[in-house]
Amino acid sequence: MKKLVLENYGAASIAAADIFAELLREKPDSVFGLATGSTPLGLYAELVKRYQAGEIDFSKARSFNLDEYYPISKDHPQSYAYFMRENLFSKVNFSSSRLPGGDADDPAAECARYDAEIEAAGGIDLQLLGIGLNGHIGFNEPALSYSMSTNLVNLTESTLEANSRFFAQGDIQPSKALTMGFGAIFKAKKILLMITGANKATIAKRLFEGFVHTDVPACLLLLHPDVTVVMDKDAARLL
């Protein structure tokens, strides 16, 4: 794993945007795997800025998001569909942008359809990832076994609690999600993992111990041949 430690969150977001920009230059019709959460917000703002300045163009590029709550409507302000629209898709020009359908009637069929769509696009060129406090990737929570395919998962108490900050009081927070499995993530040609903030220092330390701890889903990334981890100093302070 290649590790880049930047001075602060802003610099980490710029370094991540540089990796996106370089790939767009090399391969304008790239397929990007995208993530939600607070970590990539700075990166998305930087991509919007560069797009508006005419420095980058997504018109030939496509995107697939990692995950979505289930069940949830696309218009729910806490849905990842809404998050992506607000922060990126309404501001740049991807030729297509997909997320697992949190409003699908048949989640198993939706998962199979999503995997087939990624496959038909030729797989993912660059997969962006954040990391949960418990080491989850997408919504692949710590478990005894991990699904290769997109699948419906039960969220852990720790994840529900970590993400409850986004839901207003009285709003029902879904306890399930549809998440890409390790199959599509591992088939990505390149992986860009962003770890920022002091609260991620402990999980970052476990990741960099050099062991594949199977109770930390992110550790499976140690087995991928092309992973760049972009961090800020706060997240790297225990390394």
* 236: DSSP letter: T
Binding flag, residue 181, ligand GLP (CB under 6 A):
no
What's the rounded Cα separation, in Å, for the pair 20 and 32? 9
Write down the number of H helices and E strands in the chain: 7, 10
Catalytic residue among 65, 136, 151, 232: 136
Catalytic residue among 110, 115, 125, 141: 141
Binding residues for ligand GLP, total number by CB under 6 A: 14
Binding flag, residue 131, ligand GLP (CB under 6 A):
yes
Give the nearer residue to ligand GLP in terms of CB position, either 104 or 180.
180
> Is-contact 68 177, C-beta < 8 A?
yes
Binding flag, residue 130, ligand GLP (CB under 6 A):
yes
Annotation says 141 is catalytic: yes
Annotation says 213 is catalytic: no
Binding flag, residue 66, ligand GLP (CB under 6 A):
yes
What's the rounded Cα separation, in Å, for the pair 122 and 119? 5
Tokens found for residue 25: 């230059």
Shortest gap between Cβ of 155 and ligand GLP (angstroms)?
8
Binding flag, residue 38, ligand GLP (CB under 6 A):
yes
Annotation says 46 is catalytic: no
Annotation says 209 is catalytic: no
Binding flag, residue 39, ligand GLP (CB under 6 A):
yes
Q: Is 109 helix (H, G, I), strand (E, B) or coil?
A: helix
Shortest gap between Cβ of 100 and ligand GLP (angstroms)?
11
Rg (the chain; Cα; Å): 17
Residue with tokens 């997320």: 99
What's the rounded Cα separation, in Å, for the pair 108 and 70? 12
Residues serving a catalytic function are: 67, 134, 136, 141
Residues making contact with ligand GLP (CB under 6 A) = 35-39, 66-67, 130-132, 138-139, 159, 163
